[in-house]
């Protein structure tokens, strides 16, 4: 998947936080510890540093959601995180993102912290960011 394709898919999946540009994907993919797990209809971008792995983003094409692909990509992110030496996985998700929250909860992530009024949507009130963690050992 090219940076342009990653950006196009990201834009189909996200209004908030704002979608990332192809240039931002190029920059991220060349950053220390960053890795990509991808399938035709989606991708997970992770970063492992010093034993902690962060899920930077996870996206499944809206036309292909609810078919188990998000769960598969999350599992692939965790597997590569372990292979790279991570013992903890962490992520950040908007408090209003019910689909992602449901996925993370059923796969063993628990809330570790909350950033109040962290996201500013195009309309409406600011939204909390929920930080979640999962042990990989």
Ligand X SMILES: CC(C)(COP(=O)(O)OP(=O)(O)OC[C@H]1O[C@@H](n2cnc3c(N)ncnc32)[C@H](O)[C@@H]1OP(=O)(O)O)[C@@H](O)C(=O)NCCC(=O)NCCS
Tell me the catalytic residues: 92, 104
Give the Cα separation of 50 and 80 in Å (integer).
14
- Which of left, alpha, beta for 96 (phi over 0: left; psi -120 to 50: alpha)? alpha
Residue nearer to ligand X on the CB measure, 2 or 98: 98
Q: Each residue of 16-27: b (16+ CB within 10 Å) or e?
A: ebebbeeeebee
Nearest residue relative to ligand X (C-beta): 70
Closest approach of ligand X to the CB of residue 59, in Å = 5
Closest approach of ligand X to the CB of residue 117, in Å = 17
**By the criterion CB under 6 A, which residues form the site for ligand X?**
13-14, 58-60, 65-71, 93, 97-100, 102-103, 106
Residue nearer to ligand X on the CB measure, 16 or 85: 16
């Amino acid at each position: 998947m090219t940076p342009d394709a990653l950006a196009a898919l990201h834009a189909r999946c996200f209004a908030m936080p704002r979608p990332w540009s192809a240039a931002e994907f190029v920059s991220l993919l060349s950053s220390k510890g960053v890795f990509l797990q991808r399938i035709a209809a989606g991708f997970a971008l992770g970063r492992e540093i010093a034993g902690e792995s962060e899920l930077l983003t996870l996206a499944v094409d809206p036309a292909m959601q609810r078919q188990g692909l998000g769960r598969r990509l999350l599992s692939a992110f965790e597997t590569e995180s372990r292979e790279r030496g991570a013992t903890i996985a962490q992520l950040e998700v908007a408090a209003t993102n019910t689909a992602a929250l449901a996925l993370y909860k059923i796969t063993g992530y628990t809330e570790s912290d909350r950033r109040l009024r962290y996201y500013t949507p195009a309309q409406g009130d600011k939204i909390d960011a929920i930080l979640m963690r999962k042990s990989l050992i």
